[in-house]
Structure 1
């Protein structure tokens, strides 16, 4: 059986044709599932005989809500979703004046090993399919009762390590019969898999590419991110410049400030030299403290000083507003605490 959310309209039309059904039934089915009707029996304008065929070939993979937490500080809502195989992932909905944004996961766990991230502590379990990523958006819209207009691929997992499924997801998201979210409302974050950055550039998409940089030199980056052993900063910058050249899109460089590690004046000067002349923007992130890791958040003064030095030297820079601080909204934290509590109960 197939997860119907992995199908686009053309795929489903082809299935209808092969099963001696009218192709227009495909649009009817999608008309239901994108309006939160996730039971074939409730699709009352589709003939019963067609619904029976659908039930034999497809399942509708919408995750259940294992836990939900809502911030009392800013309304950020974090969902722990459980898929039919029992695996748990996280999605976070953030409310802004310009609309609702969702941060989705692309993998269950992560293999990248970044030292400041909770998602990677247990390694990777598996990739999420395009439809499983899509279902996070649909389920979250149902839960909050509002449309989601912006998507950030910045949850658990490395999107470019699940490249094909993520590209299929981007196609599904922009479909007019579905979510109809334009590419300029989508941000994809990567730790820097250089060949995939170039492959993405060749697609000419209009999404925003965010690079998890977090250090201005190779030695420091290696101490924080194992990917730096495979691709040097020079190689990463060359890939970023290729992306800018191909897409004419500004790149965002994410920089998580760690107390006494990468928040020094010397680091800021190195970062200025590294990014000089590039079409880019730096997003400074007060690092989320993970109890299993030794990294601590920079002081407010250090964050402001780092920001001011970059801005004074012509590097467009912002400080990310912390969202959902009271609900462990940082990537991977809630999933890890949920799994730990389940394992602790097994030992009782």
Structure 2
């Protein structure tokens, strides 16, 4: 008998206020007693039980996916983000930000050469995100009123399964519990500090507003996901394809990212490691997020995100 594949979700029932973990088999949701972090931490002992539960789906108590509210599938203590990790994306950004008078073809050729050298001899670029920015795969995204330069960045994210500290690239994927999808929203005008250019990037202001990390809907165990370097990342804006790239375009693959990240700090069970955004962001298209926009994100095997954008309505001042 073939193994029954499944995904994990976090959900709550209509009218409820308690988040639960569930096993998703087809359109059936099988409620679980453990929370999602505990499931990840105790996977060695629970995996066979969940396999058996999935195989017997339909024989016991279950809910339907349409009848529950799906939440972000993880509650990480740490969110590690990766910048400039897709070759075409970096080349596009360099072209978009070239100095006046610079030849675009020359900028692209120079940047491509730099990225090829970096892939062979360089190291990944990491920064830290805040778990408070995580939202579900269907929550509305409020576009903060302080800027009109909010952008999308759909990414594959690895979920760590057990503590990984100073692991090698060869063993790094053994520490991955599974994979999910994250749209790493960015306020472009805040990425670089104009008042303190020597300091460089300001990722706190650029990436950590409420809801700036729509996550999920699914957490797919690694054994069902396959090769993370051979999936398609696609984002549509109001039905128009903006990002559509294979993870083969990564400069540093998932194993290299996890290994390098673990050299500095221990990665813990449930932590998120975002792997970078492929080409096709709003900065490339000259079209950033607006009130009423709808983003539809898909990554092979990880379900669909559907995010509606709404302008923030600033609180009225001067009222008691």
- TM-score normalised according to structure 2 size: 0.25
Larger radius of gyration: 1
The structure that is strand-richer by fraction is 2
Per residue, is there more helix in 1 or in 2? Answer: 1
Provide TM-score, normalisation by structure 1. Answer: 0.23
